[in-house]
Structure 1
């Protein structure tokens, strides 16, 4: 049976157009400009805590328009956990990958399930390819840098399914604020099938989308849609206000 939730929290993982996002959020969130700026500057961070579901249809399109990487959690925010606590095969990773991933901010994984972690090379940098329920991550740490960095490709930006090309390459096509581009990750040959399958399954499962049930007690209207296609009006055609809950 599906679980129903009246409140949600939203974690912002990444956004390349931070100034645009900040300006738009200032128009809809009941928070000071400084608080919004600090939340965006400190990504990954909680941008909305226990918001009302009726407001989610107003807010989510802003993050979609700015191609932001987000997760929506139900009710409050779960306790952040290190990757070794949420990925059951962490101890099986090489010592180098474990050392690379241990200092990654725990907020980066809030609201997500980690399906697969494998060694990969991207733009001539060695790192970890992480396939989650919401996005594809690439984490690395250049030799001249003391901090790790990460690339996030949300499934909402990926066009089609991954392809495998000669040379043990995994090809991911996506569209972000900078336009459409092709990302090529080099993997070990034995890792390619598992990576491609994990991405296909995660994208097809659509756990990265937020499903909303909309009802009207006046006329009995009922719909269950993903947030981007759910009725966005405050009132039903009969004049009564809609009631909404998130379905998980």
Structure 2
């Protein structure tokens, strides 16, 4: 198989099933467990730099199977940007959130657009709820910690409904992760509830987070575009028998 874009880079943001992912990647990447563990310890990280399309597909399927949060970039990895340059309204958020977010590793935003940042609390910790093109993030830094931590809810794990809790300031996000069904409640200032709910719904509807495979036969003109889990796996066109060209779209 050929591809219109020959190389892709995969950015790994987070994964709760670390041991399972290590075992899967060890078989696919043909590297030792220690090397893979060391790579995962640096998340968010570039897990693949310029892998070809066929190799990338098997890696992406393994990452999705373990509920990893990822983005894919065509060709190489662009320079990282501080969040102050990624989010145009950064200077308009409160100083506490600005101070928190400047310490977040810049790799966390690679391949994503940031749509909204608001103050929020989760499990009695105060932090920032960040709505991007690919996921919902909760960022915090507990007292005494020197580093930020983050919870990532990718849109492909999000159920259709966002609901309000018993209190008007509580937004409940229903999603499926490696541990099963989750119903995480975030407390948000009342004036932000409607707008952040709309931001999440619009970002999910835009589907920039979906990883698709475009399958094209240049001989007979057959074209299909499917999510990576449902894309045709055969190397040759079912209509004329000639090799397919494939492109990852993300």
Match of 1:174 in 2: 175
Task: Provide the TM-score with structure 2 as the length reference.
Answer: 0.92
Pairs within 5 Å for 1:1-248: 5-167=5-167, 168-237=169-238, 238-247=240-249
CA-CA distance at 1:52 after TM superposition: 1.4
Structure 2: how far apart are the matches of 1:216 and 1:165? 50
> Does 54-63 or 14-23 show the bigger shift?
54-63
The residue matched to 2:57 in structure 1 has which SS?
Answer: helix
Shifted more, 22-31 versus 164-173: the winner is 22-31
Give the SS at the match of 2:72. strand
- Runs (5+) with no aligned partner, structure 2: none
Aligned-partner Cα distance in 2 for 1:247–1:184? 33
Residue segments in structure 1 that go unaligned for 5+ positions in a row: none
Question: 1:160, 1:137 → 2: CA distance?
Answer: 17
For residue 146 of structure 1, report the CA deviation from its aligned partner.
2.1
Post-superposition Cα deviations, 1:36-73, rounded to whole Å, max 9, x if no partner, equal 22221110000011111233332221111100010111
What's the secondary structure of 2:161's corresponding residue? coil
Q: CA deviation at 1:220?
A: 3.6
Give the C-alpha shift of residue 156 in structure 1. Answer: 1.1
2:24/2:62 contact within 8 Å kept: yes
Distance 2:143 2:88 in 1: 28
For the aligned residue pairs, the C-alpha RMSD in angstroms reads: 1.7
What's the secondary structure of 2:29's corresponding residue?
A: coil
